[in-house]
A and B are shown apart, each in its own frame.
Chain A
Amino acid sequence: KQEVTQIPAALSVPEGENLVLNCSFTDSAIYNLQWFRQDPGKGLTSLLLIQSSQREQTSGRLNASLDKSSGRSTLYIAASQPGDSATYLCAAPLSGSARQLTFGSGTQLTVLP
């Protein structure tokens, strides 16, 4: 069964810092890995999708990497801003299925002005 873990659970940084959020998964036979953002009381918004054949994916100040062999993914946020404050979740497909995602518990990020 796929299990997804995120460390740290919470992170507080001053504005302008670069930061890394970590995600680990137990079943490396994944089709892809996704990173989502969730603002308080809202739904999830997809940020980045990394296919299993890729090692990283970039969107603006965000860069996500994937290392299937070690069961790890990282989300790098450059030059953080207060507007980046949110919970970031990673998700991997359920073992043996491409029809469901297994979500980590998230990292709650606070960027202080």
Chain B
Amino acid sequence: EADIYQTPRYLVIGTGKKITLECSQTMGHDKMYWYQQDPGMELHLIHYSYGVNSTEKGDLSSESTVSRIRTEHFPLTLESARPSHTSQYLCASSIWAAEGSYTFGSGTRLTVV
């Protein structure tokens, strides 16, 4: 049973709309991450947070933004969706990568038409 939840599971939305992808975890992990993955391609880190009120951009430049107001919640927002944002977005959390607590959500598959 997953302890990290992503909603929605699938989303089809028109160009220019604002969207928020939700990610919540119940494990008390202080570190959370957002990855972007195109079909059959590798994972790219786009945002991460090491605690409340702490967010950083990842290796892959993204037009999305994130916030971390509560430990358990790490939403990702796109102010104006474009077809180039079509992808799968995966959220993960961990205590400490060294101890193998990395846990992934099921992902949100976003399609912008």
Measured CB to CB, the residues of A under 8 A from B are 31-32, 34, 36, 41-46, 49, 89, 91, 93-94, 97-101, 103-106, 108
Contacts and interface: CB of A to CB of B under 8 A. Distances in A.
B98 A32 contact: yes
Contacts of A94: 97
A18 B50 CA distance: 40
A43 B42 contact: no
The 9 closest A-B pairs by CB, nearest first: A49-B100, A43-B104, A31-B98, A98-B98, A105-B42, A44-B104, A103-B43, A43-B106, A93-B97
Interface in B41-82: 41-43, 45, 48, 50
Interface of B: 6, 31, 33, 40-43, 45, 48, 50, 88, 90, 92, 94, 96-100, 102-107, 109
A89 to B, nearest CB: 8
Nearest to B45: A100
Given A31-B97, A99-B31, A43 B107 contact: yes
18 contacts: A31-B98, A32-B99, A32-B100, A34-B100, A36-B104, A41-B107, A42-B107, A43-B6, A43-B90, A43-B104, A43-B106, A46-B103, A97-B97, A99-B31, A99-B50, A100-B33, A101-B97, A105-B42
